[in-house]
Amino acid sequence: MKVAIGTHNRAKVKAVQNVVNTYFDDIEFLEVDVPSNVSSQPFSDEETRQGAINRALNTLEATGAELNFGLEGGVREIDGIMYCCNWGALALKNGQVLTAAGAQFMLPEEIAKKLRAGKELGPIMDEYTNEKDTRHHKGAIGVLTANLVDRKEMFEHIVTLLIGQYFFLKKEK
Ligand SMILES: O=P(O)(O)OP(=O)(O)OP(=O)(O)OC[C@H]1O[C@@H](n2cnc3c(O)ncnc32)[C@H](O)[C@@H]1O
Ligand SMILES: [Mg+2]
């Protein structure tokens, strides 16, 4: 069975591979670069969810795979506090799309200020930690939770929710 993911981000790709390998045999993985068709830094739950859906559908169009995953990170503000939010979508071969959200956690005000000024979270976190490509590894979530949860683990939970919903759908039919 062909399984595709619409990104080259290492945390996202590994999350999909780990979870899919837990529940399926004989998988051919495809990794494709597709647009999210939303801002590079989504600024609401709605926009982040839409980015995940667009990536999943664009991945289906590019690969024709059985399962097509789109994962998207964004930020949103509630009562003046900025949160990182995360969404996933799974597009099936017939065009049906399943969606699920993941963890949300607070971003410090000094990071929120830079986001409001138009900077992307990826580069802000690299500056904050003095490290390179944190978005491919621990991510903002790893840095801001003292490494208790890294970005791959956070996305693994979303992918598990998507696959679980897919199994539920197949049982209902
Ligand atoms: O290559 P893609 O798949 O686009 O992966 P990405 O790391 O850019 O991830 P998103 O586009 O989904 O996330 C939107 C922005 O938020 C950043 N971001 C989101 N979650 C993050 C995290 O946990 N750690 C660091 N940056 C994060 C990310 O780098 C982007 O600037
Ligand atoms: Mg991106």
ipTM for the complex shown: 0.92
How big, in percent rounded to 5, are the helix, strand and coil portions of the chain? 45, 25, 30
What is the CATH topology of the domain spanning 2-106+151-172?
A: Maf protein (3.90.950)
Regarding the beta carbon of 153 and ligand 1, being less than 6 Å apart is answered no
Q: Closest by alpha carbon to 89, among 56, 65, 48?
A: 56
Query: What is the Å distance from ligand 2's center to 165 Cα?
Result: 25
pTM for the complete prediction? 0.96
Residue 78 pLDDT: 98
CA of 8, closest atom in ligand 1: 1
Query: What is the Å distance from ligand 2's center to 63 Cα?
Result: 20
* Distance between CA atoms of residues 8 and 138, nearest Å: 16
Query: What is the Å distance from ligand 2's center to 40 Cα?
Result: 5
User: Across the 173 residues of the chain, what is the mean pLDDT of every consecutive 10-residue run?
Assistant: 97 98 97 97 98 98 98 98 98 98 98 97 94 92 97 98 97 85
Regarding the beta carbon of 67 and ligand 1, being less than 6 Å apart is answered no
Residue 173 pLDDT: 75
